[in-house]
Structures are given as structure tokens and as C-alpha cells.
Structure 1
Amino acid sequence: MNASIITIGDELLIGQTIDTNSAFIAQEFNKVGIWVKRRVAVGDVAEDIAQALDEESGISQIIILTGGLGPTADDITKPLLNKYFGGKMTTDAAVAKHVEHLFHNVYRRPGPIDERNKKQAEVPDIAKVLHNARGSAPGMWFEKIVNNRNVVFVSLPGVPHEMQGLLIDEVLPRLRQHFKFPHIVHRTALTAGMGESMVAERLLDFEARLPQHVKLAYLPSYGMVKLRLTSQGTHAEKLDAAIDLYFDEMTALLQDILIAKTDQPVEALIGHLLLKENKTLATAESCTGGNIAHLITRVPGASKYYKGSIVSYSNEIKEALLNVEAGVLESDGAVSNATVQQMVKGALKQLGTDYAVATSGIMGPDGGTAQKPVGTVWLAAGSEDKIITKLIQLRFNREQNIETATLQALLLLRKVILNEI
């Protein structure tokens, strides 16, 4: 079962807005056995959108459109779909009532609703209206025979929060009723400390032995390689049992670099470890600017083990809040082994936790020296009993350097908690 995703909006083409909708749709589709064959981005041009609908309906049975459903003049998706499917615009009473509820009771906007927003209740009469509980623009479901196949077209708002709610609550249940999907199985392993090419070399014979229906994908990022085995078929139990055997064989070959047999971010793995040990964590960040704290607190339930962070971007804050000695900053510098050790000690004392992690470095594009070039980062993680430090030399742009240093700090922290160092 193939699907195509068409994202609509000039802002996507010029890079002003990042398309996160396609990733979410693809992930949710994959869970139920729908394979996203293509993703297409088009601007706010009616002819281009119509051409994309023609092309994608020729190869996919499910077409998902996002964007262009707002109340402003550049939102052209609704009238275009009305014309494309040969319908007539009509006011949907349920949507009109919902719009009134939003403006009067949720948004609490004074005065009458303007005509522009009232038009949100206008939909093509040939569309099945999908209730948008999170916003005013309804989703719309169309069907059309293309090449002797019944193709489903679903138009969703471009606002991610609204699109996600509609997809989960309205679209997926209807698609399950409309089509019979195959069973798709994934098994994912996380590795760290070895590059993609070296991991692939180690798995060369294993990969050659895989049957045709089992695919191995390599997904590298910032010092880690995610390995995903995928298979699909009609017999769920047999498929699960078969892929488990291959997954066990693969992970046994990677035991020395394996950090997880589930598709979870490192910050979630650390959270599980801390909960298991009933321990707490603090962060002391300089060059990562709170990014470690951001990832940790993104995990639901982090308040049970994470106490807080001191973002000590300046030397004055390192001294005042983390008790880093002025002499150390003068002699060794802020980016040094001694400084990050004292940052960990300061965080442990000030925030009263069992573990702490610290970062200090030069992210660029300037600020480096011959002795400490751009990309020089010192990391530290530890407890009152032991602190481990690590020097890394990064070569990316500022954003990538921050992301890489963040991940490397979390990996170092994980090793400390597991007492692997």
C-alpha cells in the first residue's frame, strides 16, 4: 500500500518553514503498514498543486496534502480541491458551530467573527468533513477512481499540532476501515563509538545472508549509528519471530558498541537508568547553552530524576554559581579539563544531585586559537566518587558542533552511570 505526501506552501520551498509534517505522517503510516513512496513540496500555485495530485495519484492509493487551508488569501487548497473534484462550496453546519465555539469560548475574542474566519466552515459538498478538534480548518476526505483504482485524497491543515490530531483521531481509523494493510515489523539497535562504514564492514556477511524480505538500514548521526531491520508480510506472528532471530544475530555481532535494542534517544535511556538506580542528575553547561537540559526535560517524567541546570556561559557565572576557581580559569582557561571537572563538582554541590554532566568549548565560527581551535570541547560527567573527562575536536558548523557535543556528553554520562569507565 503506497502513499504520497504533498506539502503545500511557498514558505516550505524557500526554507522559511521546516517540513516536520511529512516525517510525522510517514512514521505513523509505517506503523500501520502504509509505505510512503514519495514526498512532494509545491508552492502556493494552483496549477502546480493540481499537477502533483495527478502525478501522485498515478502511483499511490493514498494522497495526503498538508497546508493551504487557512483563512488568508494565499490559502488556496480548498477552492482548488473543490474544482479538481468537481464539487460545490457549501457551509458545513458542524464546522460553523465549532468555529463559533473556538472564537467565543477558547480564543475568547471579543465581537463578532469576521467573514474571513466564517469561511473556514465552507467545504466542497463532495468531501467527507473530518473534525479538527484543535483548530478551525477541517480536514477533508475525497475519493476518485484513477487507473481503475480507488484513490483516497485527504487534505489536512499545515499547522503541525492540528495536523497530528486529525491524522491520529480521524484519518488513520478511516484508512484502517477502508483498506487492508500488510503487517510491517521494525527492530532497531543503537550503537555508539564506531563510524557507519566500520559498522557496515562488520555486518558485511550478515547483511549478505538476509532474505529478500528483510532490509537493513544504516542511520548515522553525531557519533552514533542506528541500525533498523524491516520486514513486511501478512502473517504477523511468523514475521515477528523471524525478524527477532535476525535481530538477535545482528546485535550479538555489535555487542561491544551496542547501547540499546530499542529506538529511543540517549536522554531517554539515561532517564531509565536513573529511575532504576533512584538517582538524580544536574547539568552545568557552557558551550551547549542548555541543550542537554532541553533534551533531558523533553522526556516525559524527567522531573523524577532531573533537578536542574546552571548555564554558565560566562566565566563570572562559572565562578559565582559553580565555584570554579579564578586561578583555574586564568591558568587553564574556561575550555579545559580542570574547568569542566570543577563545573561538575559545583553542580553536584549547588543542586544536590547524585550525578552531573558539564560542557565547555568553542563552537565557532570564531573564538579559536592555535592551541584551542574552533571545535575544541571538554566534557565531564561524574559523581562525588569519580569524575570522568573527555576532549573532543569537532569540525562542523556551530549548530552541528552543539548537537554533537550534546550527544557526546550524554553518552559519557551514560557510561559513568553504568560504571563502564
Structure 2
Amino acid sequence: MKKEISAEIMTIGDELLYGQVVDTNSAWLGQELGKTGIRVKQITSISDNPDAICEALTQAISRVDVVLITGGLGPTKDDLTKHTLTRYFNTELQLHQPSLDDVEDIFRKYNRPMLEVNRQQAFLPASCTPVRNVLGTAPGMLFQEQDTVIVSMPGVPFEMKRMVTDTVLPFLQQHFQLPQIMHKVVQTIGIGESFLAEKIADWEDTLPPNLKLAYLPYLAGVRLRLTGFSDNQPVLEAQMQERIDALAALLPDNIFAFGEVTLEEAIGQLLKERNLTISTAESCTGGLVAHKLTSVPGSSAYFTGSVVAYSNDVKKVQLGVSSETLETHGAVSEETVKAMAQGVRRLLKTDIGISTSGIAGPDGGTPEKPVGTIWIAYADAHQTIARKINYNKTRLLNMEYTTLQVLDLVRQSLRRRVEE
């Protein structure tokens, strides 16, 4: 097998360290590098300090084959990356006419005057290979040092992404002999990371050396990512699919999709395949379930509408929940949530109705029904199912967890309908 090529991603900017800007560039770069067979070994965030940048770059060059730098290439005084790299590589700035032409074209296009600081962006280190920026005024810079490729790019995400796609990745693919790499993702829900690991321990122990498993937990489940390395892609594809099939047999109740598919997308596909419609009646989730369902393109084929029944009056008038049910059992109860699911299904004339009612917090709980006590329900022409959830986290986490649980209740109910 070919030598594994490793990379380090370096992000530069005080705003990242202060938390004023979220670093989305590293996540995207990691995904794109992984697709080409380059393994990200480290991600480093650095302040706008020349000495810190130089020290971090020296360390990165000593341990990886590729260093991708984002940030610090703007026209203002706090953008220090270009000048720091010029000093680091013991070179000097010189005008790069094609870059100046690009900058002038941008200002001409928007009919804006070009300042001297903008012209200065076309001055690049003499020893670098310029990387064209077709969407902005800051060109990228590619250096080679001790068998390591270093590329500096703007921190603006859409500029960086275009630069990587058009120039950087093609260069790296030609420069290095990259191994074939393949990822397969298995989406699970309803089982925690430790329980999942125990359940598939024997399967994991028998993975061959060229296959690696990663556990990526989220609020209600775990994404499993199987990564394979080989010089023979068809053989690798068959090898990985065989292992995925074996895993699916171990987790028939917990796997809801393969690949980068969300739970709401998986449910939407099930509803379309079965030609079924759905509506929601929401109290504690405040419309979040409806938002998830309608975030999927084409959801109008199966999603009809929603009633956010936050008050008891709405539960009674719109959904037909009886006063007796509310007085006897309360809004947060099995009886009420079942009536809500049946009521919205009847009101909006859908095949399926789902509902939520609970105490999301941070207050409103009682000794009998503490914060985090939540009921969810599913109703169709054949059955009405209710489940109680106890998840005493923050208000938003309680709402998000409830949304995932009620969507999973839909998935399980649809699955049982097929099996029956």
C-alpha cells in the first residue's frame, strides 16, 4: 500500500480563539482531505502573532506532509500571515501581475474605487507559487519546504473552498501518490455509545488492519464511520460492504440509514415510499418537530401541517382534548398526548399524527412530574402509541432530544407496520 499522507490544518485569528467566530473551515477541510486519502493529524488555532505562527509552522512541517493555513490574508493591519510567511521563508514580496489583474477586475465589476491596501494584496512572497482567488482579493500561496507542502489561503469560507476545489486538491493529488480511501457511515439511534460498543465488540475485533471504525455520538444515538484504505478500490468496496452487511444484522432495531442521511430525511423517504401523510401536534417542542420534517426538500409530499398547542385551550379547541382528560391527568400525561396525536390526525386529515407534551424547563416541574418529564405519541388508523421520556437537561436539549425521540417513534412504527 502507498505511504499514508498526513496533514495539519492551521487556522489563524484572535477572533477564533475568543470564540467570536466559529471555525467551520477546519471541519470542511478535514472532510475534503479525507475523501482524497489524506489523513488530518492535527488542527491548530493560532493567534495573530508572528512568533506564534512561525513556531506552529515549524512544528507542523516536522510532523506532516501537508499544512493548510487559513486566515490572516486580508488588507488590514491585523492580517499578518503573508508578511509572516515572507519572513519565515526568507524571501521578499514582489508584485504578481495576474493577481493584480484579478483584484482590479473585482473592483471594476462592482464599480468601486481600489485603495492602495487592495493593490498591496497582489504582492506575494517571491518563493511561493500563487494560488488564484477567483472570488476575492487575497491570493493564496503555496510553498514547499523539507518535502512538506504548505498552502496559505483566506479565512473567508467560500473563497477558501473554491481555492481548495479548483487548485489545492488537484495539486496534492498529482504531487503525492495517494492511497485509495473510502468512508461508509452507519446512522444509529436509541443506543448509547458504550452499549453500542459492547454489542458490536466481536464484530469490531475482527476488522482487518486496513479498516478503522470511529464512534461519533450525538444527542440520541451514534454515527459509525468505517474507513478503509487500499490500492484496489473495487476490492475495498466489496470488503467494506461485507462488513457493513454484518453490522446491519447485529443492529436491526437501531440503524435508520446508511451514509450522510438525517433521521428526518430517512423518515421522509419511508413516508413517500408508503404514500403516507403526517401532521404534528406540539406543546413542549414548540414546532421543532415540524421544522425538522419540513427542512427536507420535497416534504410537502407527505407533511400536511402542525398545531403548536402550547396552552390547554388550544389543546381542547383545536385538537379536541377533553377538559376531563386535562383535569384528571394533566397536560403532561399519556392520556393527553394520545388525544393530541389522534386530534391532529383527525383535524388535518393525515394518515399519521404525532404529538409532544412535557416540562422542558428550567422550571415548571413538580415532585410527581419533574423537569424533563415528557410524553410523546404516534397515532394512525390502526394504533395509538405513547412513550414517556425522562431527560433532565437544559431546555433546548430537552426539546431537541424529544424531537429526535418522536421522529424515531415514527420510524419504528412504520417499520412494524411493514413487518406485520
TM-score range normalised by the length of the shorter chain: 0.7 to 0.9
**Unaligned stretches of 5+ residues in structure 1:** 105-110
Cα distance in 2 for residues equivalent to 1:341 and 1:57: 62
Change (3 A) 1:352 1:117: farther
Match of 1:377 among 374, 382, 392: 374
Match of 1:112, as an amino acid? P
Please name the residue that 1:10 is paired with. 14
Matches within 5 A, 1:342-421: 342-419=339-416
Cα distance in 2 for residues equivalent to 1:227 and 1:314: 40
Please name the residue that 1:34 is paired with. 38
User: Alignment partner of 1:44: what SS?
Assistant: coil
Does structure 1 conserve the Cα–Cα contact (< 8 Å) formed by 2:127 and 2:143?
A: no
Match of 1:165, as an amino acid? R
1:212-237 per-residue CA deviation (whole Å, 9 max, x = no partner) reads 22222222222323323222021112
Match of 1:245, as an amino acid? E
Cα distance in 1 for residues equivalent to 2:361 and 2:378: 23
1:45-101 per-residue CA deviation (whole Å, 9 max, x = no partner) reads 222122211111211121112223334443332332333332305362333134315
Coordinate RMSD, CA, aligned: 2.9
TM-score after normalising by structure 2: 0.86
Matches within 5 A, 1:8-407: 8-85=12-89, 86-88=91-93, 90=95, 92-100=99-107, 103-104=110-111, 112-113=113-114, 121=122, 123-133=124-134, 135-146=135-146, 149=147, 151-319=148-316, 321-407=318-404
User: Alignment partner of 1:348: what SS?
Assistant: helix
**Unaligned stretches of 5+ residues in structure 2:** none
Does structure 2 conserve the Cα–Cα contact (< 8 Å) formed by 1:69 and 1:157?
A: yes
Q: How many residues align?
A: 411
TM-score after normalising by structure 1: 0.86
Match of 1:341, as an amino acid? K
Change (3 A) 1:88 1:237: same
Please name the residue that 1:108 is paired with. none
Cα distance in 2 for residues equivalent to 1:414 and 1:286: 21
Match of 2:144, as an amino acid? K
Change (3 A) 1:42 1:250: same
Cα distance in 2 for residues equivalent to 1:131 and 1:325: 67
Does structure 1 conserve the Cα–Cα contact (< 8 Å) formed by 2:131 and 2:163?
A: yes
Query: How far is 1:33 from its partner?
Result: 0.7
1:19-48 per-residue CA deviation (whole Å, 9 max, x = no partner) reads 222122111211111100001111222221
Match of 2:65, as an amino acid? Q
Cα distance in 1 for residues equivalent to 2:325 and 2:118: 62
